[in-house]
Amino acid sequence: MKLTVIKTFISRFLILILSFGLVIYSTNMWGSEGKGTISIVIANAAAVSFFSSIFSGSSTSYFASKFKIEKVLLYAYLWSLVTGILIPLAFSLASIQSGYLPYLIGISVFSSLLSTNINLFVGTQNIRKFNIYTVLQQLVHIVFIGIFIYLFNIKDVSVYFLAQIGCLGLLFFTSFFQIIRKCSISEISFSKEVSRNMFEYGWKTQLSAFVQFLNYRLSFYFLEHFEGIASVGIFSIGITFSEAIWTITRSIAVVLYSDVVNSKSREESIEKTKSSLKLTFILMLGFVLGIIIIPAQVYEMIFGREFRNTKEIMLLLSPGIFAIAVSDMIGYYFSGIRELKILNVKAIVGLVITVVFSFIAIPRWGILGACFVTTFSYLASAFLLFRKFYRSTEFKLSDFMISKEDIHLLKAKFIKK
């Protein structure tokens, strides 16, 4: 597991660098309003993905080793097409960013289709291809943006979405042909057992994920309503930073999930989860220290004067970022053993906190109020996961202690790599 984690960590570190590069470019190219528009449209696409991921998300990973891959793919692809078109149309009827409907449909459809293939790699423990395609999503997106802007001289904010559609489409077809070569056409058929199991598992995991998504993104909509689209762009930098950091720690979580799904022993899964907790704790200490050390002037120099409060935002968000990163290990463990109730409970509690306190804090303190609410929600969600995990497993003080052996092992792995 450890070597796989290191490889996945390296791929996610590349994603972190590419994500920061894309954020820096977009803020300087389109300003706070443009960044706000991007954040809202991408948030809408993420909302669509939670409906499509009922079949194309963790269901694909979980059942890839339990049913015929051909049958799993059939339902995932069909569901991706249906939800990727109908949900954006519903958003348009509700006047939610209706001017960007064609882009939202394109991003939603291809994102879901590609997600199916990537989750299939996770379910079959092909972590190498999972790593490759997650890195390429950022890299190819940047390449397409460069082509549209510098080759075709298109500089409107819509370039961001066109480039993303081109990137997702290219990667889907590439991964599709890699997968389909190993499939048998005669095995492609509808199955009530497959559809029932995928739907039952999928909606339970996605209910939690969707509610958690609202915790992460609802502040955008409150800020747009009370403060305007530019405030969304400024606040989104902090959220983008946190999610970029989470791509690193979730590299550990993805490997953990794959191991837990394919594990025959509950005790082994628990020990791997505790090991992942300690490793994530070490990494997050480094990131939070970096946030504290970097001067505020550096953020302003990188993103522009409109984003001069970025460090303050990051400092306010950092306790919640830390809590979510570490508790994600426990969340993936519960998902892997199909104990999904606690995921729904912690997500709902976080959502209630977000909704109630956003009405109070955001109108009064604006972006800083959104930071306070977000951090409070993250901390409460993480606390519930930790309490559940350590009530159902044997508690040891060493689970929280970083030993010299842990540090030497981590160091040795990086040197070896």
What is the tens place of the pLDDT at every residue in 153-199? 888 888 999 999 999 999 999 999 988 887 777 777 788 887 888 88
How many other C-beta atoms are found inside a 10 Å radius of the C-beta of residue 19? 20
239: tokens are: 């959220």
pLDDT at residue 386 above 80? yes
Listed in sequence order, the residues at least 6 apart from 60 whose beta carbon sits closer than 8 Å to its beta carbon are 72, 73, 76, 116, 119, 120, 123, 198
What's the domain count of the chain? Answer: 1
336: tokens are: 């892997």
pLDDT at residue 409 above 60? no
pLDDT at residue 81 above 70? yes
Question: How would residue 71 be classed by pLDDT, with cut points 50, 70 and 90?
Answer: confident
**Domain enclosing residue 356, as ranges:** 2-416
Q: Residue 408's pLDDT is what? A: 55
Tell me the range of 65-69, 338-342, 366-370 where mean pLDDT is highest: 366-370
Residue 286, amino acid: G
Q: What gap in Å lies between CA 347 and CA 335, rounded to an integer?
A: 13
pLDDT at residue 317 above 80? yes
Q: What gap in Å lies between CA 124 and CA 115, rounded to an integer?
A: 14
The angle, 0 to 180 degrees and rounded to 10, between the axes of the packed helices 192-226 and 69-93 is 30
Q: What gap in Å lies between CA 183 and CA 186, rounded to an integer?
A: 9
In the chain the first and final C-alpha atoms are separated, in Å, by 14
Least confident range of 33-37, 151-155, 249-253, 275-279: 249-253
pLDDT, mean over the chain? 79
Q: Is 147:160 a contact under the CB 8 Å cutoff?
A: no
375: tokens are: 């951090």
Region of 394 (left: φ > 0; alpha: ψ -120 to 50; beta: rest) is beta
The sign of the dihedral angle between the CA atoms of 307, 310, 313, 319 is positive
pLDDT at residue 62 above 80? no
Phi then psi dihedrals of residue 50, to 5 deg: -70, -25
407: tokens are: 């540090």
198: tokens are: 């995928």
Question: What are the C-alpha distances in Å from 80 to residues 56, 61, 70, 301, 345?
Answer: 7, 15, 15, 41, 27
Q: What gap in Å lies between CA 31 and CA 46, rounded to an integer?
A: 22
Among residues 228, 237, 225, 286, the alpha carbon closest in space to that of 9 is found at 286
Between the CA atoms of 235, 237, 241 and 244, what dihedral angle is there, to the nearest 10 degrees? 110
Q: Quick: pLDDT tens for 200-243.
A: 877 777 776 777 777 767 787 788 778 877 787 778 777 777 77
Residue 391, amino acid: R
Please report where in the chains the tokens 């064609």 appear, as a residue.
102
pLDDT at residue 377 above 80? yes
Q: Residue 113's pLDDT is what? A: 92
Listed in sequence order, the residues at least 6 apart from 90 whose beta carbon sits closer than 8 Å to its beta carbon are none
Listed in sequence order, the residues at least 6 apart from 80 whose beta carbon sits closer than 8 Å to its beta carbon are 52, 55, 56, 109, 112, 113, 115, 116
Q: Is 80:112 a contact under the CB 8 Å cutoff?
A: yes
Residue 159, amino acid: V
Q: Is 130:71 a contact under the CB 8 Å cutoff?
A: no
Residue 330, amino acid: I
Question: What are the C-alpha distances in Å from 116 to residues 77, 90, 262, 369, 402?
Answer: 7, 23, 19, 37, 37
